[in-house]
Amino acid sequence: MNETTRYKILRQREMMKGYTAEYAGAEPTDQQQKLPFPMPLKEAKGTARIALPMDFEDVVGNKGIFSLLAERESCRVYAEEEVSLKELSFLLWATQGVRRYAGKSRQVTFRNVPSAGSRHPFETYLFIRSVEGISPGIYHYLPAGHELELWEDRDDYALELTEALNGQKFAAEAPVTFVWTVLPYRTEWRYGMQAHKYMLLDAGHVCENLYLACEAAGCGTCAIGSYDQERLDELLGFAPGPSAETDCEFSVYAAPVGKKK
Ligand SMILES: Cc1cc2nc3c(=O)[nH]c(=O)nc-3n(C[C@H](O)[C@H](O)[C@H](O)COP(=O)(O)O)c2cc1C
């Protein structure tokens, strides 16, 4: 291992740790300095909006928590069957749905997943190939109104998505592929240097909820941590490379979804 690699590995390890002496002299976080809070919900910018159904109780089988946990597994082969709109709606609700708001400006969201400080730094994008009643394309989830907005009206992304997911064709060609991005400032505002550890932990909760919700609804999924950062960010329209902007956004995790065979 050369010195550069060793240095990078050590930095990454440090980033995963809890508070250490290094944080003692750190300047106060932006929240402690009373800077304005970043909202945890993006404004809709897409060309079309699709209201998602909330009457999705019937897509959930009668499985108890024991069988959901015991039967959860990564699924990489899907039935040649559409995902229904209610199933997709349920999966979005389970992973990022907003239950209630708090704060004077409703700036805090409480959702179906936990998040450090309830900062909820993620956005959900969907590459839709085969979902009942939705034209193939790239969509963005709007948790506030439980809607989808059309992010990009194109359905010819299969090759680019496969390359962006490091050649994992099964993930790029699933009926729907979730990609979660992070807006790190939402969490950095409160936690400064500690934020990055929390955001990675938060991402795990989101994907685990997707696994369990899929299991309950007869769908399968597989966490995707192996992807090409620049290609995936460019495909979603986000500038690749480091950015110090407060609204900088980049991909962190993905997961294909389809009906189980
Ligand atoms: C953070 C993370 C990243 C992963 N990345 C990938 C991936 O890129 N491709 C893949 O096929 N599986 C990926 N997986 C799935 C694991 O390979 C899988 O969870 C593991 O083999 C255990 O199998 P199980 O989920 O069925 O218990 C990932 C899982 C996690 C938690």
3-class secondary structure per residue, 35-98: CCCCCCCCCCCCCCEEECCCCCHHHCCCCCHHHHHHHCCCCCCCCCCCECHHHHHHHHHHHHCE
Yes or no: say if 76 and 170 are a contact pair by the CB < 8 Å rule. Answer: yes
Question: Which is the closest atom of ligand 1 to the Cα of 170?
Answer: 11
- Atom 2, ligand 1: residue with shortest CA distance: 225
Question: Which is the closest atom of ligand 1 to the Cα of 73?
Answer: 26
Angle at 163 between CA 159 and CA 167, to 5 degrees: 105
* pLDDT digit string, tens, across residues 81-104: 999 999 999 999 999 999 999 998
Give the pLDDT mean for 111-128: 98
Q: Give the CATH H-level superfamily of domain 49-259.
A: NADH Oxidase (3.40.109.10)
Q: Which of 163, 224, 251 to mutate to test the pocket of ligand 1 (most atoms within 8 A of CB)?
A: 224
- Atom 25, ligand 1: residue with shortest CA distance: 74
- Atom 29, ligand 1: residue with shortest CA distance: 223
Which residues have C-beta atoms less than 6 Å from ligand 1? 73-74, 168, 222-226
Would you kindly state where each structural domain of the chain is located, as residue ranges?
Answer: 49-259
This prediction's pTM: 0.94
* pLDDT digit string, tens, across residues 17-54: 877 777 777 889 999 999 999 999 999 988 899 999 99
Cα–Cα dist 88/100, whole Å: 21
Yes or no: say if 93 and 223 are a contact pair by the CB < 8 Å rule. Answer: no
- Count other C-beta atoms under 10 Å from residue 255's C-beta: 24
